[in-house]
């Protein structure tokens, strides 16, 4: 059955989802964006079938919130009541604890179902011009059901599979935020801290793959990521403290010329990496 899908926010993620939905499903895909240029671009290149009016919103079967966490909550606060009964609202925010509790609260006076989502894909550029559905191919799509009925979770999962995601992983907001602090947030902190070394300006000609890989995501959107870091403050600080401690151990073994200890630390790391991939 052809459904009406509305994407709120047509940046890197919203734009990519729109393109993936248009290319891989028969549904009607409509967009909303406060930036008129992004909306015009998306319409012009066929990433969406058109702009979503308030009327479309009332008829929507699924709404993807692809904006900053606060804007997502604000959107639901403003339009949640006009969504039809059984409409599925899902988001794409990188931290789940806060948005899940806030949207659950909004849901109480409304008739939509909220399913939290996090497509584990991205790149170090932002905005609609950077959007590209191929970033989703083979990636994980994380879903925290947040009390939504099974059919709604199934629907979001099936759309993820249709868009090319490699697997859907069901999680809770708490587990999500703890693991994501490690897998995604720490590498972003690291990349930023790394390029702050005065030596960074001398790297050209002296660098290879490992410089490129560690520094890649330092090309960060500081407004978005500051918010994501603060929304996941406890888990992130805990992970950073673990990391600081482990870097410190290697540093001390080098400073103390303790070759045996150093080998032991590096061997442990190599074993973990070989085991967990």
User: Are the CB atoms for 31 and 51 separated by under 8 Å?
Assistant: yes
Percentages helix, strand, coil for the chain (3-state, rounded to 5) are 60, 15, 30
What are phi and psi for residue 170, nearest 5 degrees? -85, 135
**Cβ 159 to its own copies shortest distance, Å:** 18
CA distances from 114 to 31, 64, 110, 151, 215 (A): 19, 10, 10, 12, 36
| For helices 69-79 and 222-231, angle between their N-to-C axes, nearest 10 degrees | 80
Structure tokens at 57: 């919103």
**Cβ 182 to its own copies shortest distance, Å:** 4
**Cβ 194 to its own copies shortest distance, Å:** 6
User: Are the CB atoms for 99 and 126 separated by under 8 Å?
Assistant: no
State which residue, 85 or 198, has the beta carbon closest to its own copies: 198
**Cβ 163 to its own copies shortest distance, Å:** 15
- Distance of alpha carbon 46 from the chain centroid: 24
State which residue, 54 or 273, has the beta carbon closest to its own copies: 273
**Cβ 216 to its own copies shortest distance, Å:** 6
Its sign, for the CA torsion 249, 250, 253, 256, is negative
């Amino acid at each position: 059955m052809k459904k009406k899908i509305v994407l709120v926010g047509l940046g890197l993620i919203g734009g990519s989802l729109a393109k993936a939905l248009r290319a891989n499903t028969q549904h009607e895909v409509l967009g909303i964006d406060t930036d008129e240029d992004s909306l015009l671009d998306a319409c012009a290149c066929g990433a969406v079938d058109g702009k979503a009016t308030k009327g479309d919103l009332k008829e929507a079967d699924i709404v993807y919130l692809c904006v900053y966490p606060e804007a997502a909550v604000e959107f639901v606060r403003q339009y949640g009541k006009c969504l039809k009964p059984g409409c599925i609202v899902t988001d794409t925010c990188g931290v789940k604890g806060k948005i899940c509790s806030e949207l659950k609260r909004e849901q109480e006076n409304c008739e939509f179902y909220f399913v939290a989502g996090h497509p584990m894909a991205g790149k170090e550029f932002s905005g609609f011009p950077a959007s590209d559905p191929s970033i989703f191919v083979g990636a994980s799509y994380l879903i925290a059901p947040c009390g939504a009925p099974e059919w709604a979770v199934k629907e979001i999962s099936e759309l993820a599979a249709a868009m090319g995601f490699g697997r859907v992983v069901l999680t809770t907001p708490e587990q999500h935020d703890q693991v994501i602090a490690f897998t995604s947030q720490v590498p972003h902190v690291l990349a930023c801290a790394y390029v702050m070394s005065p030596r960074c300006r001398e790297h050209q000609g002296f660098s290879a793959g490992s410089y490129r890989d560690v520094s890649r995501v330092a090309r960060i959107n500081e407004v978005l990521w500051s918010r994501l870091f603060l929304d996941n403050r406890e888990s992130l600080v805990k992970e950073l403290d673990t990391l600081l401690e482990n870097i410190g151990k290697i540093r001390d073994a080098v400073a103390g010329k303790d070759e045996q200890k150093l080998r032991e630390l590096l061997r442990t790391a190599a074993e973990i990496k070989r085991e967990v991939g």
